[in-house]
């Protein structure tokens, strides 16, 4: 499973970077979304994949029995998803406003500040 | 339980929440702006005194013991940084009383200001690497919104570059956190530093270290990741520019200092050699960019980059004196750089432009402003007896002692070029006669509602002079922080304490 995930994550990073290198600002934002999801999947995979073993402590015990999935990594991923979503919402509004002001979906038209 | 380490984060969050509640009242928002940042400044000074006394102040959030819960840790470096945040936050809030305009206030300038300060302080004080990421994002989201207040075309274009590159660096940071967690199984920075010294696979550690270098290098605007900074910092309102210039890149520098002293100290020859090259290239490209430009705030933006190089040089040399120099440089730089941006705001009100070619003659009509400009400008260039002289002197002396002569040569040349472009601004804006065909003073700035713009400028200029003339206590603080940085076991001991073994 980890091997498959490694290829999935690698493919998502590659796709994200490719999208970010395009000139269209919409594709730029799609690239950012892919990148944040790829990073989340990476954390999820690196913490060790252990299906069917929730970290629940049986009554009377103080530690879970045997090996269990790592809840911390999942909490981290959850936080990162929420943050990523918030930032994405901002980025979408930003490109919409930028499109209204610049009247183009092209990074090459956005060079005014570099002169 | 010591509350002093949590207050610098809680106060701005509270002030921000309150000013959202008074959304329609400009007066209440302004009052909260000044009172909130003032209270934060007081809290940060208290924290500095506590840290000076105890060495480290640690607070476990929710009483979850480290390394399982999130800890807030204040060592000397973090305490110095939050005090500087307090100073710049307070100065900006005062400046905003007359410098920000009703429109920005209407769109939530003050709540965003408080949120940004909370994010910056949180990033300085947290002892948990993932929590650092969260504070980075808090700070970034607030800065995104502040950057586009006003909604002009240049702001949109600048914001797209700023947002994209900063989000990219956040994702690289998150990737690095994932790899660190996979390697050590912990997110607590002290625990990571402790566990990494037992990890066998030093190759992977170096790879992760480079990921952190890229992530924080983008935030700190180090070479070759600085492109977002000169593309965006000259576009927002001047008060926002000053706040960004003083604080945001320095959070990246702080993170570099933290990570490359506490966590990645295994292979110093390799990682810090790369840092040294980054530092030299950052200094040089920044100052050359500044020399080529004729827009007030763009020149200052490029100088931020070149000054970041000096700070990273202090970290890269990795000797006690060099770290003292690096920390001293951060203290000097934040005050001076924010002040220069604030002054560019005053000249903008007078002349209605930031283009050097269309300005002139201010020294004749307003000599006081000329003097106030010369203090930070000459300090930035490193002329004695101002603060920048001692900052540069310590770093260059550390470089000579470490026998890194080529980087010393670069630093000296960059100092000279800094003087050149500061003199360029002086000559164009203040000294030369008013160009023909351009109107004189648009507005009188020395009285009436504009008076608040002068207070923080004078305050920060006095601090620059004070650090120069009476630098001993500042040096002592920097020396204490350098000693702590070079001996990470103190930090690890303070955070983990008796929970080890």
Please judge whether B156 and A101 are an interchain contact, meaning their C-beta atoms are less than 8 angstroms apart. yes
B227 lies in some domain: no
Q: Tell me, what's the pLDDT at B439?
A: 65
Tens of pLDDT along A47-99? Answer: 878 888 888 888 888 888 778 888 888 899 999 999 999 998 999 999 998 88
B407 lies in some domain: yes
Compute the distance between CA of residue B255 and CA of residue B266 in angstroms, rounded to an integer.
Answer: 18
A65 lies in some domain: no
Please list, in sequence order, all residues whose beta carbon lies within 8 angstroms of the beta carbon of residue A36, skipping any fewer than 6 positions away.
Answer: A80, A84, A87, A88, B167, B171, B174
A38 lies in some domain: yes
Query: Which of A25, A73, A90 comes nearest B141 by C-beta?
Result: A90
Measured torsion, CA atoms of residues B77, B79, B84, B87, in degrees rounded to the nearest 10: -170
Domain range for A99 is 2-51+70-114
**What is the sign of the dihedral through the CA atoms of B484, B489, B492 and B495?**
negative
Tens of pLDDT along B205-252? Answer: 999 999 999 999 999 999 889 989 998 998 899 999 999 999 999 999
| CA-to-CA dists, residue B256 to B54, B113, B245, B338, angstroms | 24, 24, 18, 21
**Which chain B residue shows the shortest CA-CA distance from A9?**
B175
* Cβ neighbours of A110 in B, within 8 Å: 156-157, 160-161
Please list, in sequence order, all residues whose beta carbon lies within 8 angstroms of the beta carbon of residue B267, skipping any fewer than 6 positions away.
Answer: B202, B205, B206, B209
Instruction: Report the pLDDT averaged over residues B88-110.
Output: 87
Does residue B41 contact residue B86 with C-beta atoms inside 8 Å? yes
A57 φ/ψ sector (left φ>0, alpha ψ -120 to 50, else beta):
beta
Please judge whether B157 and A102 are an interchain contact, meaning their C-beta atoms are less than 8 angstroms apart. yes
- Going by pLDDT thresholds of 50, 70 and 90, the confidence category of residue B498 is low
| Count of C-beta atoms within a 10 Å radius of residue B119 | 26
Tens of pLDDT along B392-448? Answer: 999 999 999 999 899 999 999 999 999 999 999 999 888 888 877 666 666 666 667
Please judge whether A20 and B167 are an interchain contact, meaning their C-beta atoms are less than 8 angstroms apart. no
Give the range among B36-45, B292-301, B347-356 with minimum mean pLDDT.
B347-356
| CA-to-CA dists, residue A42 to A47, B3, B205, B381, angstroms | 9, 36, 17, 45
Compute the distance between CA of residue B122 and CA of residue B6 in angstroms, rounded to an integer.
Answer: 9
A21 lies in some domain: yes
Domain range for B348 is 267-489
B497 lies in some domain: no
Please judge whether A94 and B160 are an interchain contact, meaning their C-beta atoms are less than 8 angstroms apart. yes
Instruction: Report the pLDDT averaged over residues A4-16.
Output: 95
Instruction: Report the pLDDT averaged over residues B251-258.
Output: 94
Q: What is the distance in angstroms between the Cα of B222 and the nearest Cα belonging to chain A?
A: 18
Say if B107 is an interface residue toward chain A (CB within 8 Å): no
A61 lies in some domain: no
A95 lies in some domain: yes
pTM exceeds 0.90, yes or no: yes
Give me the CATH number covering residue A12. 1.10.287
Asked if residue B501 has pLDDT above 50, the reply is no
Annotate B256-283 with b (16+ C-beta within 10 A) or e (fewer). bbbbbbbbbbeeeeebbeebbebbbbbb
H helix runs in B100-152, sequence order? 102-106, 109-125, 129-147
**What is the sign of the dihedral through the CA atoms of B345, B350, B355 and B357?**
negative
**What is the sign of the dihedral through the CA atoms of B396, B464, B344 and B115?**
positive
Please judge whether A98 and B141 are an interchain contact, meaning their C-beta atoms are less than 8 angstroms apart. no
Tens of pLDDT along B131-144? Answer: 999 999 999 999 99
* Longest alpha-carbon distance in chain B: 77
Interface of A with B in 55-84 (CB under 8 A): 72-73, 76, 79-80, 83
A92 lies in some domain: yes
Does residue B116 contact residue B243 with C-beta atoms inside 8 Å? yes
Q: What is the distance in angstroms between the Cα of B175 and the nearest Cα belonging to chain A?
A: 5
Number of structural domains (chain B) is 1
B188 lies in some domain: no
Please judge whether A79 and B130 are an interchain contact, meaning their C-beta atoms are less than 8 angstroms apart. yes
- Going by pLDDT thresholds of 50, 70 and 90, the confidence category of residue B201 is confident
Does residue B262 contact residue B193 with C-beta atoms inside 8 Å? yes
Q: Tell me, what's the pLDDT at B1?
A: 54
B62 secondary structure, DSSP code:
G
CB–CB contacts below 8 A, A to B: 97
A97 lies in some domain: yes
Strand partners, B74: B57
Number of structural domains (chain A) is 1
Please judge whether B137 and A87 are an interchain contact, meaning their C-beta atoms are less than 8 angstroms apart. yes
By C-alpha distance, which of B361, B446, B92, B379 is closest to B238? Answer: B92
ipTM over 0.85: yes
| CA-to-CA dists, residue B224 to B172, B207, B471, B494, angstroms | 15, 18, 33, 36
Percentage of chain B lying above the pLDDT 70 cut: 97
Asked if residue B121 has pLDDT above 90, the reply is yes
Q: What is the distance in angstroms between the Cα of B63 and the nearest Cα belonging to chain A?
A: 17
Instruction: Report the pLDDT averaged over residues B18-30.
Output: 90
A104 lies in some domain: yes
**What is the sign of the dihedral through the CA atoms of B463, B468, B474 and B479?**
positive
- Residue B126, classed as helix, strand or coil, is strand
* Longest alpha-carbon distance in chain A: 70
Does residue B305 contact residue B221 with C-beta atoms inside 8 Å? yes
Does residue B401 contact residue B368 with C-beta atoms inside 8 Å? no
């Amino acid at each position: 499973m980890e091997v498959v995930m490694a290829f999935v994550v690698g493919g998502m990073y590659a796709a994200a970077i490719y999208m970010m290198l395009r000139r269209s600002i919409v594709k730029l934002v799609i690239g950012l979304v892919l990148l944040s999801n790829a990073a989340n999947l990476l954390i999820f995979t690196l913490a060790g994949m252990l299906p069917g073993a929730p970290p629940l402590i049986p009554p009377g015990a103080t530690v879970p029995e045997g090996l269990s999935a790592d809840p911390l990594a999942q909490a981290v991923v959850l936080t990162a998803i929420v943050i990523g979503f918030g930032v994405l919402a901002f980025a979408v509004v930003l490109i919409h406003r930028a499109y209204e002001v610049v009247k183009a979906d092209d990074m090459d038209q956005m060079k005014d500040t570099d002169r | 339980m010591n509350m002093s380490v949590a207050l610098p984060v809680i106060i701005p969050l509270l002030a921000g929440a309150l000013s959202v509640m008074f959304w329609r009242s400009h007066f209440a928002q302004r009052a909260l702006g000044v009172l909130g940042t003032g209270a934060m400044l007081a809290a940060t000074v208290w924290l500095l005194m506590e840290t000076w006394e105890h060495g480290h102040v640690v607070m476990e959030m929710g009483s979850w013991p480290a390394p399982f819960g999130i800890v807030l840790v204040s060592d000397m470096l973090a305490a110095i940084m939050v005090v500087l945040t307090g100073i710049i936050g307070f100065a900006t809030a005062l400046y905003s009383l007359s410098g920000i305009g009703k429109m920005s206030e209407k769109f939530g300038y003050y709540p965003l200001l408080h949120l940004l300060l909370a994010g910056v302080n949180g990033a300085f004080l947290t002892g948990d690497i993932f929590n650092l990421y969260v504070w980075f994002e808090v700070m970034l989201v607030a800065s995104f919104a502040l950057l586009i207040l006003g909604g002009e075309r240049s702001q949109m274009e600048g914001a797209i570059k700023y947002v994209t590159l900063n989000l990219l660096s956040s994702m690289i940071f998150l990737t690095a956190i994932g790899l660190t967690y996979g390697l050590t199984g912990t997110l607590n920075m002290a625990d990571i530093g402790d566990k990494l010294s037992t990890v066998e696979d030093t190759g992977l550690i170096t790879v992760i270290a480079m990921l952190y270098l890229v992530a924080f290098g983008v935030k700190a605007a180090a070479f070759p990741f600085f492109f977002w900074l000169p593309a965006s910092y000259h576009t927002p309102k001047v008060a926002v520019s000053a706040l960004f210039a003083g604080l945001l890149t320095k959070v990246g520098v702080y993170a570099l200092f933290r990570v490359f002293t506490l966590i990645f100290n295994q292979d110093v020859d390799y990682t810090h050699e790369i840092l040294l090259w980054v530092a030299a290239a950052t200094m040089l490209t920044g100052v050359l960019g500044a020399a080529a430009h004729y827009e007030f705030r763009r020149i200052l933006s490029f100088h931020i980059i070149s000054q970041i190089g000096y700070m990273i040089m202090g970290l890269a040399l990795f000797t006690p004196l060099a770290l003292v120099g690096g920390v001293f440089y951060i203290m000097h730089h934040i005050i001076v750089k924010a002040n220069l941006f604030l002054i560019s705001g005053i000249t903008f009100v007078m002349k209605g432009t930031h283009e050097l070619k269309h300005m002139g003659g201010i020294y004749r009509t307003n000599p006081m402003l000329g003097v106030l400009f010369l203090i930070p400008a000459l300090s930035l260039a490193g002329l004695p007896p101002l603060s920048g002289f001692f900052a540069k002197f310590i770093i260059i002396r550390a470089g000579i002692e470490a026998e890194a002569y080529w980087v010393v040569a670069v630093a000296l040349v960059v100092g000279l070029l800094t003087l050149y472009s500061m003199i360029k601004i002086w000559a164009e804006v203040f000294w030369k006669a008013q160009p023909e065909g351009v109107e004189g003073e648009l507005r009188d700035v020395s009285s009436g509602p504009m008076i608040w713009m002068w207070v923080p400028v004078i305050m920060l200029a006095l601090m620059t002079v004070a650090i120069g003339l009476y630098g001993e206590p500042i040096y002592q603080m920097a020396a204490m922080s350098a000693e702590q940085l070079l001996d990470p076991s103190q930090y690890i001991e303070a955070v983990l304490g008796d929970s080890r073994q």
